[in-house]
Homo-oligomer: A and B are copies of this chain.
Amino acid sequence: MTYSTAILGASGYTGAELIRIIAGHDHFSITALGAHSKAGQSLAQVFPHLRHLDLPDLVAMDAIDWSGIDLCFCALPHKTSQEVISALPRHLKIVDLSADFRLEDPEEYEKWYGNPHSAKELQPEAVYGLTEFYRDQIKAARFVAGTGCNAATGQYVLRPLIAAGVIDLDDIILDLKAAVSGAGRALKQNLLHAELSEGYHAYALGGTHRHLGEFDQEFSKVAGRPVQIQFVPHLVPANRGILATTYVKGEAQAVWDTLNAAYADEPFVTVLPIGEAPSTRDIRGSNFCHIGVAADRISGRTTVIAALDNLTKGSSGQAVQNANLMFGIPETHGLMMPPLFP
């Protein structure tokens, strides 16, 4: 059985990553590629690396005939997503990769993103797309809101630990190192090679990064009471990868045991032997997440580090993983490609 899909926002990095993954997928085909400023161009013009694929030209979104399409991947910027998804026909299943439907409370959305939520009526339908923790709901869902890439990484570390009560909930620090493709293909000065390649730095200081909205929502749900973490993201000169170094108060062995048990049957999340450090080179281009745990010399302090590829496990790979579940396809189908190293 093959399902017909459309990708909206096909000219961005997450769009390209969706195409890359679906190109090797037996049960999804691509019927339409929607774009805004690049409508009318061929895929070879927008993404020469995908020129070997026999796919349609990019089109304006309102030119798509949705009648034969089963699934829409929406890889548009936030705010635009709300507008576009509101107008999609109801027969479609939808996987949204934007931030527009991740937060259950529209006021939280407005607080973090600065604009009022413009599709409140759809929000209750959206299932949060962190597959390993929302698997049953996703299977039954028509509409899944994919997580933020940084938010996913931090949750792979912290959800099991918060649920198990093996760490102090009031003293969690997440120091995150993000590669540049997480910022998208937009033209910004700090993304230029000359600025970044010997210039790494923190950003969104002071607890202002928008993915904190997701952390707050999810961790508080897991804990059954408010939990706030301290989160400082950094931009490093690499193309793909997120490395989340998490400082928690708890015993390393209990932390490792908890994580190991939580992910024992998970195909994509691997807990390394205690004391080993993950590296972004070991997950690049794959749907895997590696987690390392180490006791500090200071008793009762533990460092947990997770690495994943922001474009794959952090967004487009996660999206396909969720789509597999939504259509009754084996969850790992099309997602077992090994990382690319070197």
Let me know if B236 and A236 touch, CB within 8 A.
yes
A77 at the binding interface (Cβ < 8 Å)? no
Measured between alpha carbons, how far is A228 from B297 in the docked complex, in Å? Answer: 9
- B200 with A243: CB separation less than 8 A: yes
Cβ 8 A contact of A198, one of B187, B207, B238: B238
Q: Could you tell me how many residues of chain A have their Cβ less than 8 Å away from some Cβ of chain B?
A: 87
Distance A269 CA – B171 CA, assembled complex (angstroms): 31
**Stretch of A19-27, A123-131, A142-150, A152-160 with 4 or more beta carbons under 8 angstroms from chain B:** A19-27
How many copies of this chain does the complex contain? 4
For residue A175, which residues in chain B have a CB less than 8 angstroms away from its CB?
175, 245, 247
Residue of B20, B197, B199, B245 near A232 (CB, 8 A) is B245
Does A275 count as interface, using CB distance less than 8 angstroms?
yes
Separation in Å of the A88 CB from the closest CB of chain B? 27
Q: Give chain B nearest CB distance to A321 CB in angstroms.
A: 15
Q: Are A207 and B342 in touch, CB under 8 angstroms?
A: no
Contact B342 A270 (CB under 8 A): no
Among B180, B198, B237, B283, point to the contact of A284 (Cβ < 8 A). Answer: B198
Contacts of A286 in B (CB 8 A): 49
- With A185-B194, A198-B238, A342-B13 in contact, do A24 and B337 touch (Cβ < 8 Å)? yes
Once A185-B194, A207-B298 are accepted as A-B contacts, the answer to whether A50 and B338 lie under 8 Å apart by CB is: yes
**Cβ of A4 under 8 Å from chain B:** no
Q: A201 near B: Cβ within 8 Å? A: yes
Q: Is the CB of B340 within 8 A of A20?
A: yes
Determine if A205 and B303 form an interchain contact, defined as CB atoms under 8 angstroms apart: yes
Residue of A173, A232, A342 with most partner-chain B CB within 10 A? A342
* Contacting pair B187 A188 (CB below 8 A): yes
Q: Would A236 and B301 count as touching, CB distance under 8 A? A: no
Asked if A181 is at the interface (CB within 8 A of a chain B CB), the reply is yes
Proximity bits, A273-305, B CB within 8 Å = 1, else 0: 001011111111110101010111110010101
Report the Cα distance A177→B189, complex, angstroms.
Answer: 22
Which A212-263 residues sit within 8 Å CB-CB of chain B?
212, 228, 230, 232, 234, 236-241, 243, 245, 247
Question: How many angstroms from the CA of A342 to the CA of B270 in the assembled complex?
Answer: 24
Chain B residues near A195 (CB-CB < 8 A): 281, 342
Q: Sample 27 A-B pairs with CB under 8 A, ordered by A number.
A: A19-B338, A23-B336, A24-B338, A48-B279, A49-B281, A49-B283, A51-B282, A52-B288, A171-B171, A180-B193, A192-B192, A192-B193, A193-B193, A194-B239, A198-B342, A200-B243, A201-B277, A201-B279, A202-B292, A202-B305, A205-B275, A230-B301, A232-B247, A234-B243, A236-B236, A236-B238, A237-B237
